[in-house]
């Protein structure tokens, strides 16, 4: 969506009119690339977990995360551009703003804030320097929007979050995003891409909340692969290290992908290692079957588990799609750490969780 302003000029001398048109033209040019954008995603969700019964609800974010944002760029000349990006989360079923973290340690919730992304940047042939709140490098391989390698990304009951997010007790608020960050993104170089990030913890007593991470990958033609790692300093829980590697190959009849990941908290050698294999299979010109199977092995925290998901997305247009997903998580070794969906934990030892959802997603 672009913004333009209707302007009525008073009677002016030719010189004054020329100066006025020059000024207005410059102003319109500077704002011509400002856009409002977003996603609204709502659907019916059924969740069932051992020991917790079942629940039916109208939920959000089954296929993509609902969001509202403003972004734009300005051409500064000489191949240099400035850009900004403000993006807020909201719950499409209630209209309420999504919860966001205020900094890299304290999980403070606010109303409608630009917690998904808030950045300003300079771009050129040499790449991009980006400042503000953004995804950490170790997250991008999990999310479809980040060019990741899980069939369901981080949305819905099929989400990679079921196994690949750090287990409770080792999780910091920086496993997805970091505030106070400075990042450098490589320019396009014959398929090679990459990011390095440093985020300040902004604590006077220690370095808690400091984030250091990097991602390097290659994508060209049918092949894509990337490796990433992120470390968050935390003196209480031990430094959290997130590392993963993934890849995909598009055979035409199916796009096959794999993902391996490890989350490690320094105190007590607590770690989880997860893997997933998945595929996107086109159905005609508008449909896509999604399938994923994976497992997690836990050490000194949580428990082992596996996760299966099957879904279908049908595009009604380039912006609107219908979707359905079925998923199941099975906990091992008498554990109960893993479930599907949000808000219905497994409470029986060695229990399982099942979820299915049907929804509609629209991008604007």
Measured distance CA(294)–CA(327) in Å, rounded: 11
Q: What is the CATH number of the domain that holds 139?
A: 2.40.160.10
Task: Tell me what pLDDT residue 170 has.
Answer: 59
Does some domain include residue 31? no
Instruction: Quote the pLDDT of residue 2.
Output: 41
Q: How many domains is the chain built from?
A: 1
283 lies in some domain: yes
Each of the 364 residues of the chain gets a pLDDT tens digit; together they read 443 333 343 444 544 444 444 444 444 444 469 999 999 999 999 999 999 999 999 989 999 999 999 999 999 999 999 999 999 999 999 988 865 555 565 544 556 789 999 999 999 999 999 999 999 999 999 998 778 999 999 999 999 999 999 887 656 678 999 999 999 999 989 999 999 999 999 988 899 999 999 999 999 999 999 999 999 998 887 899 999 999 999 999 999 999 999 999 877 788 999 999 999 999 999 999 999 999 999 999 999 999 999 999 999 999 999 999 999 999 999 999 999 987 799 999 999 999 999 999 999 9
Instruction: Answer whether residue 228 is part of any domain.
Output: yes
CA distances from residue 209 to 80, 179, 234, 301 in whole angstroms, order as listed: 32, 9, 6, 22
Residue 185's pLDDT is 98
The pLDDT assigned to 173 comes to: 75
Predicted local confidence at residue 150, as pLDDT: 98
Asked whether residue 269 is domain-assigned, the answer is: yes
**Rounded Cα distance, 87 and 145, in Å:** 14
Is 151 within the bounds of a domain?
yes
pLDDT of residue 328: 98
Tell me which residue of 145, 138, 165, 158 sits closest to 278, measured CA to CA: 158
- Strand segments (E) across the chain: 35-49, 53-60, 67-77, 80-89, 117-124, 127-135, 177-185, 192-199, 211-220, 223-232, 240-250, 255-265, 270-283, 287-299, 305-315, 320-331, 352-363
At residue 129, the 3 state secondary structure works out as strand
- Residue 116 forms part of a structural domain: yes
Select from 292, 317, 322 the least CA-distant residue to 44: 322
pLDDT given for residue 235 in this prediction: 84
What domain range is 139 assigned to? 42-363
* Position 238 in a domain: yes
Q: Is residue 214 part of a domain?
A: yes
* Among candidate residues 65, 62, 61, 59, the one with its CA nearest the CA of residue 38: 65
- Per-residue pLDDT at 100: 52
pTM for this one? 0.87
């Amino acid at each position: 969506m672009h913004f333009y302003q209707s302007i009525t000029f008073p009677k002016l001398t030719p010189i004054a009119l020329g100066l006025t048109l020059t000024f207005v033209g410059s102003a319109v040019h500077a704002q011509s690339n400002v856009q409002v954008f977003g996603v609204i995603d709502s659907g019916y969700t059924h969740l069932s977990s051992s020991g917790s019964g079942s629940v039916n609800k109208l939920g959000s974010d089954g296929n993509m995360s609902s969001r509202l944002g403003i972004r734009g760029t300005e051409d500064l000349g000489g191949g240099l551009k400035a850009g900004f990006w403000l993006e807020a989360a909201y719950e499409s079923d209630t209209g309420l703003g999504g919860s966001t973290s205020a900094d890299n340690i304290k999980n403070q919730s606010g109303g409608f804030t630009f917690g998904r992304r808030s950045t300003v940047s300079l771009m050129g042939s040499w790449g991009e320097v980006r400042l503000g709140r953004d995804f950490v490098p170790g997250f991008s391989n999990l999310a479809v929007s980040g060019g990741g390698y899980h069939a369901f990304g981080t949305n819905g009951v099929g989400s990679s979050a079921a196994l690949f997010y750090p287990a409770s007790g080792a999780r910091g608020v920086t496993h997805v995003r970091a505030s106070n960050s400075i990042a450098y993104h490589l320019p396009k170089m014959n398929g090679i891409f990459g990011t390095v990030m440093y985020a300040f913890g902004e604590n006077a007593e220690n370095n808690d909340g400091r984030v250091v991470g990097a991602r390097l990958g290659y994508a060209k033609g049918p092949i894509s692969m990337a490796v990433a790692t992120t470390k968050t300093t935390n003196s209480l829980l031990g430094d959290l290290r997130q590392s993963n590697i993934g890849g995909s190959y598009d055979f035409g009849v199916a796009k096959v992908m794999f993902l391996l990941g490890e989350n490690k908290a320094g105190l007590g050698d607590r770690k989880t290692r997860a893997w997933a294999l998945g595929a996107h299979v086109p159905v005609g010109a508008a449909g896509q079957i999604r399938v994923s199977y994976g497992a997690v092995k836990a050490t000194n925290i949580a428990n082992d588990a596996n996760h299966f998901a099957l879904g279908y997305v049908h595009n009604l247009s380039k912006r609107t799609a219908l979707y359905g997903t079925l998923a199941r998580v099975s906990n091992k070794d008498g554990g109960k750490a893993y479930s599907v969906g949000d808000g219905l934990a497994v409470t029986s030892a060695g229990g399982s969780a099942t979820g299915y959802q049907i929804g509609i997603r629209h991008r604007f």
